Chains A and B, each alone.
Chain A
Amino acid sequence: MTNSITVVDYFLPGEEITDIKSKERQTIIGPGLQRDKNKPNSLVVTQAGRLHFRAPNTYWIENRKTRYVPKRGDLVVGIITKKSGDVLKVDIGSAELANLSTLAFEGATKKMKPEVEIGDIVYAKLLNAYKDMEPELVCVDQYYKAGPLGVLTNDGFLINVNLKLVYFLLNVSNPLLGTLTKKFPYEIVIGLNGKVWMKANKAKDILTMCRVFEASENHSEKSISDTCRGQK
């Protein structure tokens, strides 16, 4: 399915795309594109970035943005910035701080509160995200089990990467994490909001990871894959 993605060109907001190659006159459009009602066979670009096309009929724009817009169901990494009563305020990189109830941890009750300090890092799921409300996080799934969610330990490190790299890293077939695995053991938590928490045995291993992510931020998936293949 992923074999025929083509990168068309760089577009700026307001530009029109007229040469649509969709079959059967049906087009699926992704982020950064909008339909032009007056002109039936053209699209208007709303975000700056490279236009991607996947046969037979999918179009979307990819760019290197770092600002995260919350979406329901996303798994994100956040920093606890405030504690007020039962609610924790979490910085997930969005316009507003997200709410996380202290009851939304596994095994937590009114009396048994989880041990969370200000400045701790949590891995959580977005329960809801509306544009007029603060986003809400939970650290349990629908069966009240934590699974991978919860507070992350403080002996790791946190970095911010752009969202494009996040999507690339979350793709199971990406070669970057595999290449790193061959060098040293590590733990990594990738939030869809661009925050990445990682932990390794040695500090220099973590620094290597930081540098790898920083260097690969500005490259296409193909060149990263090529570089990784050269490593073996």
Chain B
Amino acid sequence: MSNFRKTIISNAEKQFLIKNLRESTRLDGRAFNTIRDLKIEFGKDWGCCNVSLGKTKVLAQVTCDLQEPKSNRPSEGTLNINLELNPMADPSFEAGRQSDLSAQLNRLLEKCLKDSKAIDLESLCIQMKKRVWSLRIDLNVLNHDGNILDCASIAALAALSHFRRPDVTSDGVEFKIHSIEERDPIPIVVYHYPVYITYAIFSGGDFLVVDPTLLEEGVAEAFLSIGLNSYDELCGLHLGGKAQLSTNVILEITNKATKHACGIINLIKKGVELDTKKKLSAKETGFHKGNLKETNDSLSKLSISLDHWTTTKTSKKKKKSLKLNTVEEINNDCRMECDDINQPNHEVIRDLGVQTTELVHKGTKGEWIIIDSDSEEGANPNSSQNDIIFVETSKVETIKVQGSDSEEENVIIVCESNQEKNVSKSPKKKKAT
């Protein structure tokens, strides 16, 4: 993702950005672990939605038509994701040609939505081997200000869960597709809601920043995209670029990302629910109904930012340092967290007697990462030669995607709950590619 940018970033911008990260500030005033403002708007039609993540904007539209199913899956509908990068989004994108970036984004989205079986494709079947619904998600990037992947995955998911297909009845021989006026359209069955959370990695893993902007994306060395659903299950993990991350760091980030994912998914669900209610009660909906806000609030923003001293004071307090290289800090933090969580547990376990330590480990989910990290972190720079990262081997299935062009990337699918599913999936995927 880092080499697509054609417009060069000046050395001054790079230096200033890194300098600010050292002081644990980001240029737009966010904390390291804060995502930009997310806005989801739904259009007039079913399955049409416009998602903006800060200044990044993606428009999604779901359409469906009847098709013959694939011969190897006669009872399943199909789902196609088509992301397009127009010059409208960024002048460096070319129209009509599929670039490496768009191929990568398409594949990642496919992995997140399709391969994690988020959509019930079998419910899209009308008659075995004859007719199935074929869904198509068109994603158009309207403006590019970094982190297209997250925005697109949110847009795709929101559009899918908002979409309704026309009802079909059959008398065994003939099918009849009912228009929306005739019969109420039927929503798509969504099993779980997976979204991507992307982190940009700076100076070899010293700084990890969620939801990078365009400038941050240009300066960052690597990107870690984590696909997560609301049940804290991994639906895709992708590390692009070059970075030396330890296993602990990845697990820690994943823990943090789950919070963002849950928040986003709630927002999607609420938005869909609200708009569906409006639509069903025959209220007029659509982008044109959205309230056009006047820019009065940004005038006050101007006066606030002109009022130099007060703003910087308050904003500095907000910014929480997230430096990963200073081991002591984290240790302190986490010990405190652990203490908070475990104190009741500790007492209970002591009463029981023997297995104190093991129980604590199980109870604290993610926090165990750091407690004995002195040795781990110390060893980290020594073992810094290899780029590939392995999470615990028992939990990991590495699948080489044959279609992808880039040599550097390594696809790791982590499956915590059901290993067998993934294993059975991998040979099929090879066939498909």
Contact = CB atoms under 8 A, between A and B. Distances in A.
Interface of A: 79-81, 91, 117-121, 152-158, 179-180, 183-184, 197, 203-208, 210-212, 215-216, 218-219, 223-224, 227-228, 230-231
B14 A219 contact: no
A223 B16 CA distance: 31
A158 B305 contact: no
A230 to B, nearest CB: 6
B420 to A, nearest CB: 51
Given A179-B306, A207-B27, A227-B306, A158 B8 contact: no
5 contacts: A119-B8, A203-B25, A204-B316, A218-B295, A219-B298
A119 B306 contact: no
B9 A119 contact: yes
A15 B345 CA distance: 75
Contacts of A153: 12
A209 B308 CA distance: 9
Contacts of A197: 12
A155 B9 CA distance: 14
A199 to B, nearest CB: 9
A208 B302 contact: no
B29 A207 contact: yes
Nearest to A159: B13
Contacts of B19: 203
Contact of A215 (B12, B15, B302): B302
A219 to B, nearest CB: 6
Contacts of B13: 157-158
Interface-centre pick from A180, A183, A208 (highest chain B CB count, 10 A): A208
Given A203-B23, A215-B298, A218-B295, A230 B303 contact: yes
Given A117-B11, A158-B10, A158-B13, A208 B295 contact: no
A6 B307 CA distance: 30
A183 to B, nearest CB: 4
Interface string B294-306: 0100110111011
A201 B302 CA distance: 22
Contact of A118 (B8, B308, B312): B8
A204 B19 CA distance: 11
A19 to B, nearest CB: 28
Interface string B268-301: 0000000000000000000000000001001101
B7 interface: yes
B311 interface: yes
A231 B306 contact: yes
A179 B316 CA distance: 23
A202 to B, nearest CB: 9
B16 A208 contact: no
Contact of A121 (B12, B23, B308): B12
Nearest to A202: B312
A150 to B, nearest CB: 14
A209 to B, nearest CB: 9
Contacts of A158: 10, 12-13
B308 A207 contact: no
A91 B299 CA distance: 32
B20 interface: yes
Given A121-B11, A211-B301, A227-B302, 6 more contacts: A157-B13, A205-B308, A207-B29, A212-B305, A212-B306, A215-B302
A91 B8 contact: yes
A219 B302 contact: yes
Contact of B14 (A119, A215, A227): A119
Contacts of B11: 117, 119-121, 154
Nearest to B313: A204
A152 B16 CA distance: 14
Nearest to B316: A204
Most buried by B among A118, A211, A227: A211
A157 B303 CA distance: 22
A12 to B, nearest CB: 17
Contact of B302 (A117, A119, A203, A216): A216
A172 to B, nearest CB: 19
A184 B312 CA distance: 13
A208 B312 contact: yes
B5 to A, nearest CB: 11
A219 B312 contact: no
A216 B301 CA distance: 9
B190 to A, nearest CB: 38
B39 to A, nearest CB: 18
Contacts of A121: 10-12
A210 B295 CA distance: 18
Contact of A212 (B20, B295, B302): B302
Most buried by A among B13, B29, B308: B308
Nearest to A204: B312
A216 B12 CA distance: 23
Contacts of A228: 306
Contacts of B7: 91
Nearest to A156: B12
B316 to A, nearest CB: 8
A123 to B, nearest CB: 12
B337 to A, nearest CB: 30
A81 B298 contact: no
Nearest to B11: A119
A230 B300 CA distance: 11
Contact of B308 (A80, A117, A184, A218): A184
Nearest to A223: B299
Among all A-B residue pairs, the 5 with the closest Cβ atoms? A215-B302, A211-B305, A119-B11, A183-B308, A157-B16
Contacts of A206: 16
A224 B302 CA distance: 8
B66 to A, nearest CB: 42
A203 B319 CA distance: 15
A119 B299 CA distance: 34
A112 B315 CA distance: 47
